[in-house]
Structure 1
Amino acid sequence: MVYKVVDFFCGAGGFSEGFHQAGFEIIKAFDIWDPAIKTHNKNHPSAVPIATKADVQEISLLKDEEFEEVVPDSEVIIGSPPCVAFSNSNKSGKADKTLGITLLKSYLRIVARKMFKKDSILKYWILENVTNIEKYIQEEYTMEELGLSGNDILTVKNEYAGVYKMQYYSVPSTRKRYICGEFPAPVPVVTDDRLVTLQNVINSLGSPHSRENQMINDINFNTEMPGNLVTDHHYIKEIAEFEWKKAERQKQDKGYMGRMSFPENMEKPARTIMATMSGSSRESFILPIENNRYRYPTIREVATVMSFPIDYRFYGESDSVKYKLVGNAVPPKFSYALAKAINDEIPLNNNLNFKKKTFKEDEFVNLNGKKYAIKIEKKKNKKAKFKYHIPYMKINTYRTELLNSFNGEQVEWTVEIHKSQGKNAEVFRELPLKMSFLSDKELTIINNFSDVMSKRIVSFENLQESYRKTSTEKLEKRLIGPDELLSEVKRLIISKFEHYKGDVNIDSIQKEVPYKIVISYYILETIIKKID
């Protein structure tokens, strides 16, 4: 017997793929995004397209007869409702959850309708999502809570519900996901000393272009494929210097956040693949080329990190669409582990051998051979915001920040001392400081430095204008923008005030603040007052 599977919010088909590789039959899938539907159908071909464009909320509310026509009976239902609203990366986890909860309940409503109907064959169902969603899911739901009639109760958090770490299921990623529903526990297949690393992925695929005429190994499914047939890998998209430098700063000196590797740490499983490509953010996935040059990962690299088979194709018109298809997916190797647990519990005796893909000639956009121009830095808009601390100077969670704001068209620059983060965060501004611990010579140094800087900056407006200009233009004209100002203050601190260790008491806020933080605040405040 082969168990049938219906996949809701199917995306590119990662959840389906794991069950397919485990011998289950995917009979229906639903999503709202055209590239996802196309990708799912092309990788899981059948006489009648498996994936259909549909709104899951609308499906959940259909009348019984139409509902049964749209959603076929199956032994297994899987689903991964859109996770953007629940992700900690979206407004630090404070994004509006209304739509996310609506879609979550829609999925649970469908499960309940299939589970509690007469002669139901549904035996297992699984919900996958970001870890933060756990706080928004109840232990169980009454039919009334799901907008249904009857006295049944849907148990959502069984004994195996919880957060699972993908790397222990042979996924080359530290991605973590929350799983709940009705399912047997998936069995981890690797331990900490046997994890699949990013270096393993790079070694298996080879660098872009290097193995076009050789066989390429699929590290996830232990197979191989001629290099010229491996799609979306033989190209290089280089990251512009102004972008990767910004990413480096965000990763290694992001205010209250910890340091991240730059470029990526090859000796561990890869970080979570995001849905958005970026070369200039803390979340950017950056690989080295050579000679202080860096690139985006290829689509095949991120797909392999997510444990997709090497022959899986992503049907998007651009690399950014393909990247989103990969980043939003459920890793197939983890899905396979879930399916195998079901298979072993029955047991179904499914065919667990690797199942290759076959594709007809079609309109697939293969990125191989594509030439990407390096992005050119553009001037920032007139009201570009700035908020950053003195580079690489965080002491006991304290940092000195320079920031701008706008009163109509008028720009204003201010200085603040920040402490800690989250609920413990504190901000101090307009501090009446007594700098009696400084010598007359040191006060003269600060005064002379502030004179020089203020004459070069001239005004708030000029500081904003310098900020708007490109890195090249600022360098050629020796302009002082906010980044350059902070760097100059850092150099002054290192050269003249490095001997100040420990803290000084600030009476006005009743805090012990590191000397260097207080000195840097005083220097910036002095400059700001001179250009105001």
Structure 2
Amino acid sequence: MKVIDLFCGAGGFSEGFERAGFEIVKAYDIWAPAILTHNQNHGNGKEIAFRGDIYEISMLENEEFEKYIPDTEVIIGSPPCIAFSNSNRSGKADKTQGVKLIQAFLRIVARKMNKPNSKLRYWVMENVENSLAFVEDNYTAEDLNWPELGDFVLSVPQKNIFNMKYFGVPTNRKRSICGFYPELKELNGDKEIITLGEVQKALGKPAPLNYMNSSKVIIDPIYGIEILNRDLTDHHYVKEVPYFEWIKAKRQKQDKGYMGKMSFPENKDKPARTIMATLSGAARESMIFELEVENLREKYRFPTIREAATLMSFPIDFRFYGESDAVKYKMVGNAVAPKFSYEIARAIRKALNGKFSNDKFSVKKAFKEDISFTNLNGIVFELKKEKPKKFESKYSYHVPYLIEKAYRVGLENQFIDGEVKWKTKIHYSQGRNAKVYEDIFVNLCLYESDEILQIINFIKEYIREIRSFENLQNQYCKTFEDRDGLGPDELLNNIRDFIESNKGLSRLAFIKEIGKEISMKIITSYYLLENILRGLENANKNTGIK
């Protein structure tokens, strides 16, 4: 039974079908490292993956089209999902190119189905869940810009969202599956899922210095494949996440302000979060593991390529032919989870009355050793150095880890005629419920006399130390190592420490501009910031505190 894989990438979709006994006859992508990877892992030594623009192929005249897209029983594909991803401009990116590529895939399917005596029985398109909003139930010749289809209408009978963790994949990854395919049944419930910790235990700790002397046998937690530890590629190295990145990632994960908390480092008792295509250490989506060191200093590392690949359900002997960890990570993050693909293929095989059953679920791979392969094992990655920011760099954050009933106090900069200004605001909630309050009057009568004295002394101290808006910006633009004064992060941290040290601020007080009672922690944070900024703005004058 034959299959064509469109937008094949490194071959996650093909991997599942090939292990279920299908023959991949053609696969297309435009990225050279992915094509090489696909060919080295599939096809039993035959070159089956080629460089090809799917949109251009979908628009070829019939004779040429048939050369690129031969008759097969199954067509699979995963059009690039970046346009639809929530991580791309918070889901507000232009969808035009994404829709164009989905329609190119569907045009190919429609042309093969409309062909006399068509062999095509099933077709499956994978993408991120947001893409479903851009897939119609039916497509006419006009919709697909191919008049030769005549009155033929391509129906999309199934449009579903599945979570990979219920199909034996150790990751919490939701994907839309559209097309014509048999019913897919989940293999397991929440109690039987494979966790991050189980994967890490199976692979063992990265051992850059002594893995070559290890005769330990590694058993694939999904496929049961056995290989020697020293033969486990792209695993025995450590790439540390620098402090300036992980501290930002931690803040994004646990103190976003208007989004829920995420584990930092990753929770080993659950399936991994969605593997992204970008190897980042400073974002909310970053995947960060604890780095075990002898001293007590906090250190963290990126996942190895092998860890990421196994979490995506690639077999442990799958090789990624890229020159860097970033290239390999992109291949993994962009892929269709092979174990899920295998379950789709198995359902199709069953629907075809099991006419063939050469299942290769646990088969080991053989590679052409004359093809150059970059193994990351033993590579020493230099710790990334932070670069200074440009003076015009924007800043916007709130008093860290201080959110009371969805209220938070933010500090931000703005540039007017080349000069930097700083403002503080009270933010409430997010989305349609979001509100912003500024120029709020805070009556000192809300405080006890000893509290007033502490507040005034705090404000005076930080006006003296920071001195000016420009100094505050200059410190922000320096690296963590080069800062020799207070930047906005340090100021907000000190305000948080002041608030938390004054237990009496847990009470509520009514604020006219907001129209309700809110926490004195929020009120006081705003008052401190507002008056420090007023003092800095009038640094060359004899400024009192309002």
TM-score of the aligned structures, taking structure 1 as reference length: 0.96
Identity %: 51
Answer with 403-412 or 209-218: which moved more.
Answer: 209-218
Alignment-mate amino acid for residue 341 of structure 1: A
The unaligned stretches of length 5 or more in structure 1 are: none
Structure 1 segment 103-114 matched on structure 2, within 5 A: 103-114=101-112
- Cα contact 2:39–2:45 (8 A) shared by 1: no
Structure 1 segment 251-266 matched on structure 2, within 5 A: 251-266=253-268
Alignment-mate amino acid for residue 533 of structure 2: I
- Cα contact 1:79–1:128 (8 A) shared by 2: yes
- Cα contact 1:31–1:53 (8 A) shared by 2: yes
What does residue 348 of structure 1 align with?
355
Q: Distance in 2 between matches of 1:79 and 1:526?
A: 58
Alignment-mate amino acid for residue 358 of structure 1: A
Q: Distance in 2 between matches of 1:121 and 1:512?
A: 69
Secondary structure of 2:340's match? helix
Alignment-mate amino acid for residue 308 of structure 2: V
Of residues 291, 303, 316, the one that matches 2:309 is 303
Structure 1 position 515, deviation (Å): 2.1
Of residues 271, 282, 285, the one that matches 2:284 is 282
Alignment-mate amino acid for residue 288 of structure 1: E
What does residue 409 of structure 1 align with?
418
Deviations 1:309-368 (A, max 9, x none): 111111111000000000000000000000000011112332113232111222111101
- Cα contact 1:186–1:340 (8 A) shared by 2: no
Of residues 464, 478, 488, the one that matches 1:469 is 478
Structure 1 segment 70-109 matched on structure 2, within 5 A: 70-109=68-107
Structure 1 position 59, deviation (Å): 1.0
Answer with 272-281 or 19-28: which moved more.
Answer: 272-281
Aligned length: 524
What does residue 4 of structure 2 align with?
6
Of residues 181, 184, 188, the one that matches 1:183 is 181
Structure 1 position 74, deviation (Å): 0.7
Structure 1 segment 12-51 matched on structure 2, within 5 A: 12-45=10-43, 48-51=46-49
- Cα contact 2:437–2:513 (8 A) shared by 1: no
Structure 1 position 242, deviation (Å): 2.4
- Cα contact 1:24–1:350 (8 A) shared by 2: no
Structure 1 position 97, deviation (Å): 0.5
Alignment-mate amino acid for residue 155 of structure 1: S
Answer with 108-117 or 502-511: which moved more.
Answer: 502-511
Alignment-mate amino acid for residue 78 of structure 2: S
Deviations 1:146-171 (A, max 9, x none): 1122112111142xx31101011110
Of residues 372, 380, 389, the one that matches 2:389 is 380
Deviations 1:475-518 (A, max 9, x none): xx3x111011001111111223x323354332224344322112
- Cα contact 2:225–2:364 (8 A) shared by 1: no
- Cα contact 1:8–1:80 (8 A) shared by 2: yes
Alignment-mate amino acid for residue 256 of structure 1: Y
Of residues 394, 398, 403, the one that matches 2:407 is 398
Q: Distance in 2 between matches of 1:398 and 1:196?
A: 38
Secondary structure of 2:481's match? helix
Of residues 500, 503, 521, the one that matches 1:516 is 521
Answer with 232-241 or 183-192: which moved more.
Answer: 183-192
Answer with 361-370 or 325-334: which moved more.
Answer: 361-370
What does residue 359 of structure 1 align with?
367
What does residue 236 of structure 1 align with?
238
Secondary structure of 1:234's match? coil
Secondary structure of 2:505's match? coil
- Cα contact 1:388–1:403 (8 A) shared by 2: yes
What does residue 220 of structure 2 align with?
218
Q: Distance in 2 between matches of 1:223 and 1:421?
A: 48
Deviations 1:226-251 (A, max 9, x none): 12221101111111222222222221
Secondary structure of 2:393's match? coil
Deviations 1:19-49 (A, max 9, x none): 0000000001111111111111111145652
Deviations 1:357-403 (A, max 9, x none): 11122211110110111122232222222111111101111110111
What does residue 512 of structure 2 align with?
507
Deviations 1:90-116 (A, max 9, x none): 111111101111111111111111111
4+ runs deviating over 6 angstroms: none
- Cα contact 1:6–1:77 (8 A) shared by 2: yes
Q: Distance in 2 between matches of 1:202 and 1:519?
A: 46
Secondary structure of 1:222's match? coil
Secondary structure of 1:83's match? coil
Structure 1 position 211, deviation (Å): 5.4
Q: Distance in 1 between matches of 2:180 and 2:4?
A: 15
Secondary structure of 1:307's match? coil
Secondary structure of 2:425's match? strand
Q: Distance in 1 between matches of 2:170 and 2:78?
A: 20
Answer with 509-518 or 319-328: which moved more.
Answer: 509-518
Q: Distance in 2 between matches of 1:48 and 1:290?
A: 43
- Cα contact 1:142–1:153 (8 A) shared by 2: yes
Secondary structure of 1:101's match? helix
Secondary structure of 1:388's match? strand
Deviations 1:405-439 (A, max 9, x none): 22242111111111111222222222234443123
Structure 1 position 457, deviation (Å): 0.6
What does residue 379 of structure 2 align with?
370
What does residue 543 of structure 2 align with?
none
- Cα contact 1:398–1:420 (8 A) shared by 2: yes
Q: Distance in 2 between matches of 1:220 and 1:355?
A: 12
Cα RMSD over matched residues? Answer: 1.5
Q: Distance in 2 between matches of 1:51 and 1:488?
A: 57
